[in-house]
Structure 1
Amino acid sequence: MSQETATRPAGTAQPALEIPLPPLPPDWRSLARAFVHQARVRWGQLAVSDSTGASLTYGKTFIRALALGRVLARRLGPHPYVGLLIPPTVPASVANLTLTLWGRIPVNLNYSASESLINSSIDQCGITHVVTSEKVLDKFKLRPKGELVLLEDIPKQVTLADKLWAAAVAKLVPISQLDRFLPGLRAENLDNTATVIFTSGSTGNPKGVVLSQRNVLTNIHQINTQLNILPDESLLGILPFFHSFGFTVGLWTVFCLGKKIVYHFNPLDAKTIGKLCETHRVTLLAGTPTFMRSYLQRCDPKQFATVVHLLLGAEKLKPELARELRETLKIEPMEGYGCTELSPVVSFNVPHDKVLADGRTVPGTREGTVGLPVPGTSIKTIDPETGADLPRGTAGMILVAGPQVMVGYLNQPEATAKVLKNGWYQTGDIGYVDEDGFLRITDRLSRFSKIGGEMVPHMAVETAIQEATGTNEQNVAITSLPDLKRGERLCVIHTPLGITPQEVNRRLTAGSMPRLWIPAADDFIEVESIPILGSGKVDLRQLREIAQQRVPKS
């Protein structure tokens, strides 16, 4: 499947409200070349830093990447895919950059997953070498397949010749001649693979999402065009690079647009994150509502005084939290939407007015929505059962087309064909586009249960239980198990609710919720915490496993 096929739906009319995307900047012939131009222009400016105190300017980042490339070239075999098992830090960003400059394909492995899932990703890519750290292996109790290249061993392998060569090439060789030294600048093609991002495996085995250079570069351009990124934008990088947002925004948006970023490997470490935001004068903070709720509770609001852009996704932003963020931090939260297969950003709200394709101007934020699609993106909805196109404003399965649509799943043509048809990617999410083009998500198709022949939305049940218990915390998650009588049964995984399951059941019954939707009191399971993936999303696979272990079989 070529990327050209995925950039415009074949045989379909372009939605009237799609906002056009300006052409890519002329220097963006590849990720490597976009970085090189920024490095030369911003040589002495800060590029990356992290919570360990490490920091590099653009010039030093370039030199460090070239020296590391020489070392890796002596270690790596011919296979293009190279595994990386490193949390978001300065070394992790340099390692990703190095592989790209040297024409390799970095594959960031999910260190929060089980060893078997990590090895599945390694096998699917045919990875022979994994760049990692002894600290990471010890912390996560992992020993992945393949030959391990430990960061701790790299410094003593860098020779004086490596250092001199790297400094000379980075600083003195004209950009037009750099392709003689850097394979990543040779035979540039936007359809070349930039990375493989593996799905979380929350609902099954991970699939390798192949993202091209075009996918990543275009999504960066879409984000920049939608948001109007500040000239001195300073980002906080807390999402791992095995997460598509962490890879596209936390790594390449910074390098391609010449911004600066400070990394921290634990998004739940509120105390450190507050200090980093204050010290580094962070202006763009991206995360999940769950993360922000923790920061509100544990950080001094003054630590976020410089934040201008607060981008939230992965879960629904509750109106109560949005209001608290406005009142406490004086920031308008920007709820957005995306997925790995879409590089990942599809839409998000912005704090300024937007001009629609038909010339009308509307406020860039509409509460309860995930914003306007980024420029160049088409969205439609279809009936999940028949596949028929639905009128604008009608809820159905959301389909997305645009230059950010993935190339496909690695070596899985059948799985690719199921979700990608004529350039339209079937997201599996349920929602609709309103009259002005704003996208509203109502649930995920995989988060429905068919009970007594009726589709029951998990998100609606979760919200009803939270309202019944008087809490806005992310303390309830619904999963389901097979049921002989009704097809499926809902199981409520929850932290302490303050009232008994019987009382929750009584309050739901007294309300307007259909009786079929109300979980039985026996199907409530109390846990210490809701299982969360490294990306901040609820771990659906672990939810199901908890239910299978704790709920008696019907």
Structure 2
Amino acid sequence: MSLQAATHPTGVANDPAPLTPLPGLPARWSSLGRAFVTTARARRGAPAFVDSTGASLTYRQALIKALALGRVLERVIGPAKNVGVLLPPTCAGAVTNLALTLQGRVPVNLNYTANQESVDSAIDQAGITHVLSSKRMLERIPLTPKGEIVVLEDIATLVGPSDKAWAAAVALLVPTSAMGSFLPGLRDEELEAPATIIFTSGSTGQPKGVVLTHRNILSNAEQIRSQIELVPEDVVLGILPFFHSFGYTVPLWTVACLGLKAVYHPNPLDAQVVAKLTREHKATVILATPTFVRSYLKRCKREDFSTVRLLVLGAEKLKPELAQQIRDLWGIEPLEGYGCTETGPVVSVNTPLQHRSLSGQMVAGNRPGTVGQPIPGTIIKTVDPESGEDLPQGSEGIICVKGPQIMQGYLNRPEATAEVLKDGWYWTGDLGRVDDDGFIIITDRLNRFSKVAGEMVPHGAVESAIQELVGVVEAVSAVTSVPDPKRGERLIVLYTPELPLEPKELVRKLQDSPLPKLWIPSADDFVPIDSIPVLGSGKLDLRKLRELAREHLER
């Protein structure tokens, strides 16, 4: 049994201010570059990008700067197709990505929170010869990327009067239909051509290069717009890095294609700056992870977020206790969504709008405890983890996704691609089910289960039980496992100093809870650590968790 979302959500946004609907993406937008140029010309003096350094660009300015930068890069880096970008979410980072796209190149945003080995692996896999960065960035990170480093501050000195005049003339005078004569990115447009390569976080192994096409990102931008009804007045807070598929597709390209305003800041955990930017720029849309929001709840005031109408959280499970804290402290209803790097990334999201259910009835678009209904044009099914057979609707199995946002494949890894792309379906590796109204419930990831004494134990369920007992908003523990000669695997709970209960007392309380006895770790398997390791995207660093657990056993 499979499920297809309605063509378009129906209902009225929960915002008393009048909202102007955005039109659908025109069919003539045959590439990301053309979509941006068309929008930039239509929006001209409207604000496009601002950031915490004080930089600010209108759409006209962003287009001219991207054209000028692209012209200089053509002289500096030659014919390189895949170009590394080592920049945080800022105006400079956005313009750099736009410039490369308009030049028909493929920007590869490198994960500056990863280790040297992972970054070098990405550079080698993508055949990158040049990496664009900045002096300030290189001073702040413990990385020296392979290849030739091109520093933007040096490039700025190469932008001469003729480059600026050329960029202004192309931006303001050349008809859009003729811009292909000046811009390679608008010359041989192909929706199936690679638009970017996003490397997976490597939380469970070496990073894989996910090839996303122009069709993938344009489709996902329109799907997102339609699902949550983004409007021209929206201001999107861009705190997710561009090396994360959500940060690349939404705060960069969805904003650029639809003519919204993005407010960038490089550090999503810098709560006070995030609050200041949200307040000063009257941000209406925040895309974040539960981990990031936990820090905001502790350090920010309710009035800092008074203009926010959409708080969309993903990348990790939104725990009920955190959702309630957000409602109580900020008066905002958090909306949980779901996606994967391989899906462009958005698959589903809750919304304040009403939606049509599978039975044809109108239902509330937000159902806490779920990750929402599939975005328009997206089909979901579940399959049996063992047999791979399709399951009836409502049955729990591996979530599989089909839609225009599904990746082209893994870079130069046909076997890995074939493992997850089957007959057009992307096998996510996440377990879940679809309820009667079409809402998706994610149970856990297959790689977040341990087989203890022959029984599959979900790490997320154990973490939730602990979190509920300790009653704090912060993530103070995380569950992993190690091999065990007697039981197959053994659960290990890594916990921080903020855990308010001693392990023995916590285990006793767990034994009195509904949690199955086999799922309860012993007090000896609680390991103290300084902080819970997370990736730059805000997800748990599963590989680091396992390493810490193994180190504990070796002592």
TM-score band (shorter)? Answer: over 0.9
Q: Give the Cα separation in 1 of the matches to 2:122 and 2:191.
A: 24
1:388: how far off?
Answer: 1.6
Match of 2:529 in 1: 527
| Structure 2 segments unaligned to the other structure (5+ residues) | 9-22
Q: Give the Cα separation in 1 of the matches to 2:194 and 2:331.
A: 41
1:170-249 counterparts in 2 under 5 A?
170-249=171-250
Match of 2:544 in 1: 542
Report the identity percentage.
59
Match of 1:303 in 2: 304
Q: Deviations over 1:437-465 (max 9, x none)?
A: 00011111100001111100000111112
Match of 2:5 in 1: 18
**Contact 1:17 / 1:358 at 8 angstroms: preserved in 2?**
no
1:357: how far off?
Answer: 6.0
Q: 2:475 aligns to what SS in structure 1?
A: coil
Q: Give the Cα separation in 1 of the matches to 2:554 and 2:547.
A: 13
**Contact 2:383 / 2:397 at 8 angstroms: preserved in 1?**
yes
Q: Give the Cα separation in 2 of the matches to 1:122 and 1:389.
A: 38
1:320: how far off?
Answer: 2.4
Match of 2:123 in 1: 122
Amino acid aligned to 1:18 = A
Match of 1:344 in 2: 345
1:552: how far off?
Answer: 4.2
**Contact 2:450 / 2:491 at 8 angstroms: preserved in 1?**
yes
Match of 1:4 in 2: none
1:78 aligns with 2:65: no
Q: 1:490 aligns to what SS in structure 2?
A: strand
Match of 1:156 in 2: 157
Q: Give the Cα separation in 2 of the matches to 1:113 and 1:77.
A: 28
Q: Give the Cα separation in 1 of the matches to 2:3 and 2:315.
A: 28
**Contact 1:17 / 1:356 at 8 angstroms: preserved in 2?**
no
Residues 391/92 of structure 1: CA separation in 2 closer, same or farther (3 Å cut): same
**Contact 2:3 / 2:381 at 8 angstroms: preserved in 1?**
no
Match of 1:271 in 2: 272
1:229: how far off?
Answer: 0.5
Q: 2:315 aligns to what SS in structure 1?
A: coil
1:460-475 counterparts in 2 under 5 A?
460-475=461-476
Q: Give the Cα separation in 2 of the matches to 1:90 and 1:451.
A: 49
Q: TM-score, normalised on structure 1?
A: 0.95
Match of 1:6 in 2: none
Q: Give the Cα separation in 1 of the matches to 2:475 and 2:243.
A: 24
Match of 2:67 in 1: 66
1:472: how far off?
Answer: 3.8
Q: 2:157 aligns to what SS in structure 1?
A: helix
Q: Give the Cα separation in 2 of the matches to 1:356 and 1:470.
A: 35
1:328: how far off?
Answer: 2.6
Match of 1:35 in 2: 36
Q: 1:170 aligns to what SS in structure 2?
A: helix
Q: Deviations over 1:27-64 (max 9, x none)?
A: 32110001011111111111001000001111111110
Q: 2:382 aligns to what SS in structure 1?
A: strand
Q: How many residues align structurally?
A: 540
Amino acid aligned to 1:63 = I
1:431: how far off?
Answer: 0.7
Amino acid aligned to 1:187 = D
Q: Deviations over 1:142-162 (max 9, x none)?
A: 111000000121221111111
Amino acid aligned to 2:552 = R
1:102: how far off?
Answer: 0.4
Match of 2:520 in 1: 518
Q: Deviations over 1:319-353 (max 9, x none)?
A: 22222322332222111000100000000100111
1:16: how far off?
Answer: 5.1
Q: Give the Cα separation in 2 of the matches to 1:521 and 1:369.
A: 32
Q: 1:157 aligns to what SS in structure 2?
A: coil
Q: Give the Cα separation in 2 of the matches to 1:385 and 1:471.
A: 37
Q: Give the Cα separation in 1 of the matches to 2:70 and 2:131.
A: 14
**Contact 2:325 / 2:473 at 8 angstroms: preserved in 1?**
no
Q: TM-score, normalised on structure 2?
A: 0.95
**Contact 1:77 / 1:128 at 8 angstroms: preserved in 2?**
no
Q: Give the Cα separation in 1 of the matches to 2:167 and 2:350.
A: 42
Amino acid aligned to 1:372 = Q
Residues 393/305 of structure 1: CA separation in 2 closer, same or farther (3 Å cut): same
Q: Give the Cα separation in 2 of the matches to 1:16 and 1:91.
A: 41
Q: 1:154 aligns to what SS in structure 2?
A: helix
Q: Give the Cα separation in 1 of the matches to 2:553 and 2:493.
A: 10
1:363: how far off?
Answer: 0.6
Q: 1:201 aligns to what SS in structure 2?
A: coil
Q: Give the Cα separation in 1 of the matches to 2:26 and 2:161.
A: 37
Match of 1:389 in 2: 390
1:140: how far off?
Answer: 0.9
Amino acid aligned to 1:291 = F
> In terms of mean alpha carbon deviation, does 136-145 or 253-262 score higher?
136-145
Match of 2:253 in 1: 252
**Contact 1:494 / 1:527 at 8 angstroms: preserved in 2?**
yes
Match of 2:113 in 1: 112
Q: Give the Cα separation in 2 of the matches to 1:276 and 1:136.
A: 21
Q: Give the Cα separation in 2 of the matches to 1:433 and 1:226.
A: 18
Amino acid aligned to 1:344 = P
**Contact 2:3 / 2:438 at 8 angstroms: preserved in 1?**
no
Q: Give the Cα separation in 1 of the matches to 2:359 and 2:257.
A: 31
Match of 1:442 in 2: 443
Q: Give the Cα separation in 2 of the matches to 1:16 and 1:167.
A: 48
Q: Give the Cα separation in 1 of the matches to 2:457 and 2:356.
A: 37
| Structure 1 segments unaligned to the other structure (5+ residues) | 1-12
Q: Give the Cα separation in 2 of the matches to 1:528 and 1:269.
A: 19
Q: 2:377 aligns to what SS in structure 1?
A: coil
1:134-153 counterparts in 2 under 5 A?
134-153=135-154
1:511: how far off?
Answer: 2.7
1:514: how far off?
Answer: 2.2
Residues 532/341 of structure 1: CA separation in 2 closer, same or farther (3 Å cut): same
